[in-house]
Structure 1
Amino acid sequence: MTLPVLSSVRERLGAALFEQVAGSKGPDRRERIALSEGPRWFDESRPIWQVHNDAAMFVGGLRALLLQSLHPLAMAGVAGHSGYRGDPWGRLHRTSHFLAVTTFGTEADAQAMIARIRAIHERVRGIAPDGRPYAASDPHLLRWVHLAEVDSFLYAYQRYGAGSLDQAGRDGYVADAARVAAALGVLDPPTTEAQVRAGLHGYRPELKGTREAREAARFMLLKPPLPLPVRAPYGILAAAAVASLPVWARWPLRLPYLPLAEATVVRLAGEGLIRGIRWVLTPVTDSPTAA
């Protein structure tokens, strides 16, 4: 039985955290997603619900951004068009809303969201610092971003999630995510965990730790615009995200590899923090955590 005062504190903390992630419109958007009637791409039995509705996404999201930054053309698009330095919270709110609508929303809302994102991608193009042209609508870059996200969300869930997925469940998650990826313009997205791993390996010759990527990593990990009281918990999330990266992704971003500390201190601290986040969010989010 939860004491009324403790329950009240828990709800206030959960509401504050949810608003930080989803923005001031988050509660209204969450209600719309939950109450809207109509067919959905996925129901509650699908692995994508299990993964995207878990607090482990906090680690997975950071990991995905770090991994994605290793592709020079993808990073050039982020540096030139995303406004991640000037409006990092806005970018987080938009990403959270996209994930919520495409995972938990109606088919009509998901398709409308996809159409908006594809229209934005058509406008994001330019020349990378190495002189190569890039376009966010390029299926090859879209595939890289998708691979990094799916691998990161799944890895974080398996390590820090409330449960775990067996092989069929992991393949099911990848197949679920492939439906969204294909709608976004990814050609032949992976449908199994093995295909994700093979896809990541195939991109490795193209990856590089550019100056822009290292600056983005420092901003995300060391200089986020956060109030002083939440910097320590965020530091744990950052450490957990770095520890979850493959070793080959560390050096290009000048990130440390401390296997003993990562297997003990970082993992225990990460597990404790994610359990705490899950606890404060639970009473507020009987429906999806993202919005």
Structure 2
Amino acid sequence: MAVADLPGPHSLLRRTLGEWRIGLVAWRLLVLQTADPAVAAGMATFSTYRAHPWRRVEHTMDSGKRLFFSDREGLHREIARLERTHRRLAGTDEQGRPFTALDPAVRVWVLVTLYECMTAMRELSGRPLAPSELDQMYGEFRAVCSEFGLSDDLFPATAADVPAYMDRTIRERLEYSEPVRYLLFDMLREAPAPRRLRLLKPAWPLVRTVAAHVIGALTVADLPEAFRERFGLPRTRRAALLSFILHRGMRVLINALPEHRRYRTPLTGIPSTAQPPTASTDHPSVPEASPVRLPAPRRRKGADSRPARVRTFFHQVLDQTGDGRISSADLQAMAHNVCWPLELAPEREAPVYAAFETWWQQLRTGMDVDEDGKVTCEEFVTAMLTGIDSGPAYLEQGLHVAVRAVFHAVDTDGSGHLCADEYRTIFGGSRVHPAELNHGFRQLDNDGDGRITEEEFVQAFTDYFTARSDSTAGSQLLGRP
């Protein structure tokens, strides 16, 4: 059987998916995908979307670029990475039903909703695709999907069959679960300020309230009629008017832009040789930035500063799912966030997950008093400080195992040291300002050569948890107190 050509730079699929206005239907896409019970269960159990929504969105967008804007080599690499990640997302939902992210029907639903949202974007803008264009784009879309190895019988046979597939799935399988409700009405109201909008941070509570109202109303108005009817989500006149103005206004704006300004992703795609930054043999300089302090509780002079730092670590680093407790899922998410931007091969990815599982087993054994598989912040702080005071072996048997695995994963060229860019790869996140990352790097780079060795890296984590004052370099691992 002949292998279909992948969509090229001038394909209808890339031109549609690459436009900036695809963002208008992005939340609609997330809601439709999350309404599948297996996706909702996976999000509720494993996802970091509550605690780190912007990072989660960035990962989703990056994955879409790699799937639909790569050559065949890059596409296969991304599919393999997704399968390794999804293989770990399995369990039982709150109703006792087993779920797995590798369910072929679920994977097809997630893919087809992307195609359907592209066609919806054009229809909502007042310029729907003609039947011949729908056939063309669906053919290009299926050429990419064929690389997943999923059965053709699970996909709608033609573009004309997609509406019936959507309607049937909505009525027979989808559910209005808590993650769906949260996406529609609460997520944006609680989201921290994105790093790129840090200048708006003082006004962020107001900005996000307005944004949440607009995006929520727009999403409800744009959802398929069958979805709104089944789950009782009325399309108000104001919401319909908002949708009309935004979609048609954005169409006019995009069409007025020069060709090269219309697209958020270059139509030429992503080179298959693209790799994340690695350490250089030169001594890179650390960018200068204005000092910005992270808020910290007031402490008496000379008081033990460890409890406050351990709590900060719990909330900023460990509690990936944002529910106030840590479990195996949180440690898996931490391993995922190390491996994801590095595009690690399976043999280099596996030790990272194994190391974090080792650390979790130590935490669970010593902290999970009620044996419910979760550890609260106070349980973590109390047990961590008790273990540290008992001797150095406590950190060596858990935290250090994970830290060394992270170091070796990020040290992609095996140089034995990390440069500033690699340090930011580990600690970059929506809750930590870049200036604090630069400050932390300078504190750990004792000899000022722009590099951190493995032992310096491990010692920094040791100091963070053991130093009784904030004057020790490692105590400022996540920024100044």
Same fold (TM over 0.5): yes
Amino acid at match of 2:266: S
Gapped regions of structure 1 (runs ≥ 5): 1-39
What is the 5 A alignment of 1:132-143? 132-143=97-108
Q: 1:174 to 1:89 in 2, by over 3 A?
A: same
Matched, 1:60 2:25: yes
Alpha-carbon distance in 2 for matches of 1:223, 1:283: 31
Amino acid at match of 1:268: I
Equivalent of residue 133 in structure 2, options 166, 169, 181: 169
- Tell me if structure 1 keeps the 8 A contact 2:15–2:267: no
The CA deviation at 1:128 is: 1.1
Match of 1:268 in 2: 245
Amino acid at match of 1:256: P
Alpha-carbon distance in 2 for matches of 1:233, 1:116: 33
Q: 1:241 to 1:216 in 2, by over 3 A?
A: closer
The CA deviation at 1:213 is: 2.4
**Structure 1 residues 183-232: Cα deviation after superposition (integer angstroms, max 9, x where no partner):** 33432123532221222233221222123322232234544434537544
Alpha-carbon distance in 1 for matches of 2:128, 2:268: 18
Alpha-carbon distance in 2 for matches of 1:234, 1:289: 34
The CA deviation at 1:114 is: 1.1
- Tell me if structure 2 keeps the 8 A contact 1:127–1:133: yes
Match of 2:175 in 1: 208
Q: 1:270 to 1:165 in 2, by over 3 A?
A: closer
Alpha-carbon distance in 1 for matches of 2:59, 2:248: 26
- Tell me if structure 1 keeps the 8 A contact 2:254–2:262: no
**Structure 1 residues 87-143: Cα deviation after superposition (integer angstroms, max 9, x where no partner):** 211221122112212222222111111111111111111111111101101101112
- Tell me if structure 2 keeps the 8 A contact 1:209–1:252: no
The CA deviation at 1:265 is: 3.6
**Structure 1 residues 41-83: Cα deviation after superposition (integer angstroms, max 9, x where no partner):** 2112322112111123112221111112222222111222221
Alpha-carbon distance in 2 for matches of 1:148, 1:50: 18
Larger relative contact order (CA 8 Å, sep ≥ 6): 1
Q: Please report the RMSD computed on the Cα atoms of aligned residues, expressed in angstroms.
A: 3.2
**Structure 1 residues 11-54: Cα deviation after superposition (integer angstroms, max 9, x where no partner):** xxxxxxxxxxxxxxxxxxxxxxxxxxxxx721123221121111
Match of 2:147 in 1: 183
Alpha-carbon distance in 1 for matches of 2:262, 2:223: 31
Gapped regions of structure 2 (runs ≥ 5): 194-200, 271-481
Report how many residues are paired.
251
- Tell me if structure 1 keeps the 8 A contact 2:222–2:243: no
The CA deviation at 1:271 is: 3.3
The CA deviation at 1:237 is: 4.1
Matched, 1:287 2:253: no
Match of 2:474 in 1: none
Equivalent position SS for 1:250 = helix
- Tell me if structure 2 keeps the 8 A contact 1:118–1:137: yes
Alpha-carbon distance in 2 for matches of 1:68, 1:137: 14
Alpha-carbon distance in 1 for matches of 2:7, 2:18: 13
Alpha-carbon distance in 1 for matches of 2:233, 2:242: 17
Amino acid at match of 1:154: T
Larger radius of gyration: 2
Q: 1:269 to 1:283 in 2, by over 3 A?
A: closer
Equivalent position SS for 2:163 = helix
Equivalent of residue 217 in structure 2, options 215, 239, 244: 239
- Tell me if structure 1 keeps the 8 A contact 2:89–2:101: yes
What is the 5 A alignment of 1:84-99? 84-99=49-64
Taking only the aligned residue pairs, the percentage that are identical comes to 24
- Tell me if structure 2 keeps the 8 A contact 1:47–1:172: yes
Matched, 1:117 2:82: yes
Q: 1:101 to 1:113 in 2, by over 3 A?
A: same
Alpha-carbon distance in 2 for matches of 1:246, 1:268: 18
Match of 1:160 in 2: 125
The CA deviation at 1:277 is: 7.5
TM-score (norm 2): 0.46
Matched, 1:82 2:47: yes
Alpha-carbon distance in 1 for matches of 2:50, 2:269: 22
The CA deviation at 1:238 is: 3.9
Alpha-carbon distance in 2 for matches of 1:243, 1:290: 32
Q: 1:59 to 1:202 in 2, by over 3 A?
A: same
The CA deviation at 1:286 is: 7.8
Match of 1:248 in 2: 226
Amino acid at match of 1:287: P
Match of 2:186 in 1: 219
Q: 1:238 to 1:275 in 2, by over 3 A?
A: farther
- Tell me if structure 1 keeps the 8 A contact 2:189–2:212: no
Match of 1:45 in 2: 10
The CA deviation at 1:85 is: 1.0
- Tell me if structure 2 keeps the 8 A contact 1:170–1:193: yes
Matched, 1:192 2:170: no
Matched, 1:128 2:93: yes
Q: 1:289 to 1:268 in 2, by over 3 A?
A: farther
Match of 2:379 in 1: none
TM-score (norm 1): 0.73
- Tell me if structure 1 keeps the 8 A contact 2:9–2:268: no
